[in-house]
Amino acid sequence: MSIPAFGLGTFRLKDQAVIDSVTQALDLGYRAVDTAQIYDNEAPIGQAIADSQLPRASLFLTTKIWTDHFGRGRLIPSLKDSLQKLRTDYMDLTLIHWPSPKDEVPMEDYLGQLAEAKAQGLTRQIGVSNFTIDLLRRAIAIVGADAIATNQVEISPYLQNSKLAAFAKAQGIHLTSYMTLAYGKVLKDAVMEEIARKHGASTAQVALAWALKLGYSVIPSSTRRENLQSNLLAQQLTLDDEDMARIATLDRNERQANPAGLAPAWD
Protein backbone atom coordinates (compact mmCIF):
# COMPACT_ATOMS: atom_id res chain seq x y z
CA MET A 1 0.00 0.00 0.00
CA SER A 2 1.28 3.45 -0.84
CA ILE A 3 0.98 6.80 0.88
CA PRO A 4 -0.91 9.44 -1.16
CA ALA A 5 1.43 12.12 -2.47
CA PHE A 6 -0.98 14.92 -1.63
CA GLY A 7 -3.20 15.35 1.38
CA LEU A 8 -4.83 17.89 3.67
CA GLY A 9 -3.13 18.88 6.90
CA THR A 10 -5.27 19.95 9.86
CA PHE A 11 -2.74 21.13 12.46
CA ARG A 12 -4.08 24.08 14.50
CA LEU A 13 -7.55 23.82 12.95
CA LYS A 14 -10.41 23.13 15.34
CA ASP A 15 -14.19 23.13 15.58
CA GLN A 16 -15.96 24.87 12.69
CA ALA A 17 -12.67 25.93 11.09
CA VAL A 18 -11.59 22.33 10.57
CA ILE A 19 -15.07 21.27 9.46
CA ASP A 20 -15.05 23.98 6.81
CA SER A 21 -11.51 23.15 5.69
CA VAL A 22 -12.17 19.42 5.35
CA THR A 23 -15.55 19.98 3.71
CA GLN A 24 -14.11 22.32 1.09
CA ALA A 25 -11.06 20.12 0.51
CA LEU A 26 -13.15 17.02 -0.09
CA ASP A 27 -15.38 19.01 -2.44
CA LEU A 28 -12.29 20.09 -4.40
CA GLY A 29 -11.01 16.53 -4.75
CA TYR A 30 -8.74 15.95 -1.76
CA ARG A 31 -9.01 12.37 -0.57
CA ALA A 32 -6.28 12.17 2.09
CA VAL A 33 -6.71 13.87 5.48
CA ASP A 34 -4.04 14.04 8.18
CA THR A 35 -4.89 14.60 11.84
CA ALA A 36 -3.57 13.68 15.29
CA GLN A 37 -4.92 12.98 18.73
CA ILE A 38 -3.26 16.10 20.17
CA TYR A 39 -4.86 18.34 17.52
CA ASP A 40 -8.20 17.87 19.32
CA ASN A 41 -10.06 17.89 16.01
CA GLU A 42 -10.73 14.24 15.19
CA ALA A 43 -14.45 14.48 16.05
CA PRO A 44 -15.22 17.49 13.82
CA ILE A 45 -13.17 15.90 11.03
CA GLY A 46 -15.27 12.76 11.46
CA GLN A 47 -18.39 14.89 11.18
CA ALA A 48 -17.18 16.60 8.00
CA ILE A 49 -16.31 13.25 6.41
CA ALA A 50 -19.67 11.75 7.37
CA ASP A 51 -21.51 14.76 5.99
CA SER A 52 -19.61 14.45 2.69
CA GLN A 53 -21.17 11.00 2.15
CA LEU A 54 -18.04 9.91 0.31
CA PRO A 55 -17.34 6.16 0.39
CA ARG A 56 -14.87 5.31 3.16
CA ALA A 57 -12.81 3.28 0.71
CA SER A 58 -12.17 6.43 -1.36
CA LEU A 59 -10.46 8.19 1.57
CA PHE A 60 -7.05 7.89 3.19
CA LEU A 61 -7.12 8.88 6.87
CA THR A 62 -4.05 9.36 9.04
CA THR A 63 -3.87 9.99 12.76
CA LYS A 64 -0.99 10.14 15.19
CA ILE A 65 -0.75 8.64 18.68
CA TRP A 66 0.17 11.11 21.41
CA THR A 67 2.97 10.36 23.87
CA ASP A 68 0.56 10.10 26.84
CA HIS A 69 -0.82 6.91 25.29
CA PHE A 70 2.46 5.02 24.88
CA GLY A 71 2.30 3.07 28.16
CA ARG A 72 1.49 -0.63 28.11
CA GLY A 73 -2.17 -1.27 27.46
CA ARG A 74 -2.91 2.36 26.55
CA LEU A 75 -2.10 2.78 22.86
CA ILE A 76 -4.76 0.52 21.36
CA PRO A 77 -7.61 1.91 23.52
CA SER A 78 -6.53 5.43 22.52
CA LEU A 79 -6.60 4.44 18.84
CA LYS A 80 -10.06 2.94 19.26
CA ASP A 81 -11.16 6.27 20.75
CA SER A 82 -9.74 8.05 17.69
CA LEU A 83 -11.64 5.67 15.41
CA GLN A 84 -14.87 6.44 17.23
CA LYS A 85 -14.31 10.19 16.91
CA LEU A 86 -13.48 9.87 13.21
CA ARG A 87 -16.51 7.60 12.70
CA THR A 88 -14.52 4.85 11.01
CA ASP A 89 -13.67 1.21 11.69
CA TYR A 90 -10.02 1.56 10.68
CA MET A 91 -7.26 4.05 9.98
CA ASP A 92 -5.36 3.89 6.73
CA LEU A 93 -2.23 5.05 8.53
CA THR A 94 -1.39 5.48 12.22
CA LEU A 95 1.84 7.15 13.31
CA ILE A 96 3.78 7.59 16.51
CA HIS A 97 3.62 11.40 16.78
CA TRP A 98 6.86 12.00 18.66
CA PRO A 99 9.37 9.61 20.22
CA SER A 100 8.80 9.05 23.93
CA PRO A 101 10.40 12.00 25.79
CA LYS A 102 13.66 10.89 27.42
CA ASP A 103 12.71 7.30 26.52
CA GLU A 104 10.27 7.24 29.42
CA VAL A 105 8.42 4.48 27.57
CA PRO A 106 10.69 2.00 25.77
CA MET A 107 10.29 2.14 22.00
CA GLU A 108 9.76 -1.62 21.98
CA ASP A 109 6.59 -1.08 24.04
CA TYR A 110 4.88 1.57 21.95
CA LEU A 111 5.97 0.29 18.55
CA GLY A 112 4.98 -3.19 19.64
CA GLN A 113 1.50 -1.96 20.51
CA LEU A 114 1.26 -0.10 17.20
CA ALA A 115 2.19 -3.27 15.33
CA GLU A 116 -0.46 -5.14 17.31
CA ALA A 117 -3.04 -2.50 16.33
CA LYS A 118 -2.22 -3.26 12.70
CA ALA A 119 -2.49 -7.00 13.33
CA GLN A 120 -5.94 -6.41 14.82
CA GLY A 121 -7.05 -4.51 11.70
CA LEU A 122 -7.41 -1.17 13.48
CA THR A 123 -4.97 0.43 11.04
CA ARG A 124 -3.81 -0.71 7.63
CA GLN A 125 -0.37 0.86 7.82
CA ILE A 126 1.85 2.16 10.61
CA GLY A 127 4.71 4.60 10.79
CA VAL A 128 6.47 7.27 12.78
CA SER A 129 6.84 11.03 12.93
CA ASN A 130 9.69 13.27 14.03
CA PHE A 131 12.14 10.36 14.09
CA THR A 132 15.84 11.03 13.55
CA ILE A 133 18.29 8.67 11.87
CA ASP A 134 19.16 7.10 15.22
CA LEU A 135 15.50 6.68 16.16
CA LEU A 136 14.74 5.19 12.75
CA ARG A 137 17.55 2.69 13.19
CA ARG A 138 16.04 1.61 16.50
CA ALA A 139 12.56 1.39 15.00
CA ILE A 140 13.84 -0.71 12.11
CA ALA A 141 15.47 -3.10 14.58
CA ILE A 142 12.12 -3.50 16.35
CA VAL A 143 9.54 -3.79 13.55
CA GLY A 144 11.61 -3.86 10.34
CA ALA A 145 11.93 -1.20 7.66
CA ASP A 146 9.14 -2.75 5.59
CA ALA A 147 6.65 -2.13 8.40
CA ILE A 148 7.37 1.62 8.54
CA ALA A 149 5.13 3.16 5.88
CA THR A 150 6.46 6.67 6.40
CA ASN A 151 8.37 9.02 8.67
CA GLN A 152 6.49 12.33 8.83
CA VAL A 153 9.04 15.09 9.42
CA GLU A 154 9.52 18.79 8.91
CA ILE A 155 10.95 19.46 5.46
CA SER A 156 10.92 22.80 3.67
CA PRO A 157 13.25 24.71 1.35
CA TYR A 158 14.70 26.23 4.54
CA LEU A 159 15.06 22.83 6.29
CA GLN A 160 15.87 20.21 3.70
CA ASN A 161 16.86 17.46 6.15
CA SER A 162 19.19 15.92 3.57
CA LYS A 163 21.00 13.47 5.90
CA LEU A 164 17.76 12.02 7.18
CA ALA A 165 16.31 11.93 3.67
CA ALA A 166 19.31 10.02 2.35
CA PHE A 167 19.14 7.49 5.19
CA ALA A 168 15.40 6.96 4.78
CA LYS A 169 15.79 6.46 1.03
CA ALA A 170 18.54 3.90 1.58
CA GLN A 171 16.21 2.00 3.92
CA GLY A 172 13.25 2.26 1.56
CA ILE A 173 11.29 4.40 4.02
CA HIS A 174 9.00 7.04 2.53
CA LEU A 175 9.03 10.59 3.94
CA THR A 176 6.04 12.84 4.44
CA SER A 177 6.86 16.54 4.61
CA TYR A 178 5.06 18.78 7.05
CA MET A 179 5.45 22.56 7.30
CA THR A 180 6.64 22.49 3.69
CA LEU A 181 5.95 26.23 3.47
CA ALA A 182 7.82 26.95 6.75
CA TYR A 183 4.76 28.69 8.20
CA GLY A 184 4.61 30.80 5.06
CA LYS A 185 8.17 32.11 5.36
CA VAL A 186 9.28 30.63 2.04
CA LEU A 187 6.38 32.32 0.27
CA LYS A 188 8.22 35.65 0.41
CA ASP A 189 11.63 34.26 -0.55
CA ALA A 190 13.13 36.08 -3.54
CA VAL A 191 14.39 32.89 -5.22
CA MET A 192 11.04 31.17 -4.77
CA GLU A 193 9.26 34.23 -6.18
CA GLU A 194 11.51 34.22 -9.26
CA ILE A 195 10.85 30.55 -9.93
CA ALA A 196 7.13 31.13 -9.42
CA ARG A 197 7.11 33.97 -11.97
CA LYS A 198 9.02 31.80 -14.44
CA HIS A 199 6.30 29.14 -14.31
CA GLY A 200 3.31 31.42 -13.85
CA ALA A 201 2.70 29.74 -10.51
CA SER A 202 2.41 30.72 -6.86
CA THR A 203 5.34 30.39 -4.45
CA ALA A 204 3.30 27.88 -2.45
CA GLN A 205 2.90 25.75 -5.56
CA VAL A 206 6.65 25.93 -6.17
CA ALA A 207 7.47 24.77 -2.62
CA LEU A 208 4.99 21.92 -2.80
CA ALA A 209 6.11 20.89 -6.30
CA TRP A 210 9.72 20.88 -5.04
CA ALA A 211 8.86 18.44 -2.25
CA LEU A 212 6.78 16.27 -4.58
CA LYS A 213 9.62 16.07 -7.11
CA LEU A 214 11.94 14.86 -4.35
CA GLY A 215 9.49 12.02 -3.76
CA TYR A 216 7.92 13.24 -0.53
CA SER A 217 4.24 13.37 0.33
CA VAL A 218 2.89 16.78 1.35
CA ILE A 219 0.00 17.76 3.64
CA PRO A 220 -0.51 21.54 3.38
CA SER A 221 -3.40 23.09 5.29
CA SER A 222 -5.61 26.07 4.64
CA THR A 223 -8.98 27.45 5.65
CA ARG A 224 -9.45 29.31 2.37
CA ARG A 225 -11.01 27.54 -0.59
CA GLU A 226 -8.88 29.40 -3.13
CA ASN A 227 -5.69 28.33 -1.36
CA LEU A 228 -6.86 24.74 -1.06
CA GLN A 229 -7.56 24.70 -4.80
CA SER A 230 -4.31 26.45 -5.68
CA ASN A 231 -2.26 24.04 -3.57
CA LEU A 232 -3.74 21.08 -5.44
CA LEU A 233 -2.41 22.50 -8.71
CA ALA A 234 1.15 22.02 -7.43
CA GLN A 235 0.82 18.43 -8.63
CA GLN A 236 0.72 19.73 -12.21
CA LEU A 237 3.79 21.96 -11.86
CA THR A 238 7.05 20.45 -13.11
CA LEU A 239 10.22 22.14 -11.88
CA ASP A 240 13.37 21.75 -13.99
CA ASP A 241 16.88 20.90 -12.80
CA GLU A 242 17.84 24.56 -12.58
CA ASP A 243 14.85 25.28 -10.35
CA MET A 244 15.71 22.37 -8.06
CA ALA A 245 19.36 23.43 -7.87
CA ARG A 246 18.39 26.98 -6.93
CA ILE A 247 16.02 25.79 -4.20
CA ALA A 248 18.76 23.49 -2.87
CA THR A 249 20.81 26.59 -2.05
CA LEU A 250 18.08 27.89 0.27
CA ASP A 251 18.70 25.26 2.95
CA ARG A 252 19.62 26.99 6.22
CA ASN A 253 18.61 24.40 8.80
CA GLU A 254 15.80 26.65 9.98
CA ARG A 255 13.39 24.54 11.99
CA GLN A 256 9.86 25.68 12.85
CA ALA A 257 8.80 22.74 15.04
CA ASN A 258 11.15 22.18 17.94
CA PRO A 259 9.08 21.82 21.12
CA ALA A 260 11.04 21.73 24.35
CA GLY A 261 10.67 18.42 26.16
CA LEU A 262 9.51 16.60 23.04
CA ALA A 263 12.06 17.22 20.33
CA PRO A 264 14.83 14.63 19.95
CA ALA A 265 18.47 15.47 19.20
CA TRP A 266 17.98 16.41 15.57
CA ASP A 267 20.32 15.22 12.81
pLDDT the model gives residue 159:
98
Ramachandran region, residue 141 (left: φ > 0; alpha: ψ -120 to 50; beta: rest): alpha
pLDDT the model gives residue 1:
63
Distance of CA 90 to the CA centre of its chain: 18
Q: Would you give per-residue pLDDT tens digits along the chain (267 residues)? A: 689 999 999 999 999 999 999 999 999 999 999 999 999 999 999 999 999 999 999 999 999 999 999 999 999 999 999 999 999 999 999 999 999 999 999 999 999 999 999 999 999 999 999 999 999 999 999 999 999 999 999 999 999 999 999 999 999 999 999 999 999 999 999 999 999 999 999 999 999 999 999 999 999 999 999 999 999 999 999 999 999 999 999 999 999 999 999 999 999
pLDDT the model gives residue 194:
98
pLDDT the model gives residue 169:
98
Catalytic site residue from 30, 39, 158, 178: 39
pLDDT the model gives residue 113:
98
Clarify whether 39 is annotated catalytic. Answer: yes
Domain 8-181+216-223, architecture per CATH: Alpha-Beta Barrel (3.20)
pTM (predicted TM-score): 0.98
The rounded distance, in Å, linking the Cα atoms of 179 and 257 is 8
Is the CA virtual torsion 166, 167, 170, 173 positive or negative? negative
What's the alpha-carbon Rg for the chain, to the nearest Å?
18
Boundaries of every domain in the chain: 8-181+216-223
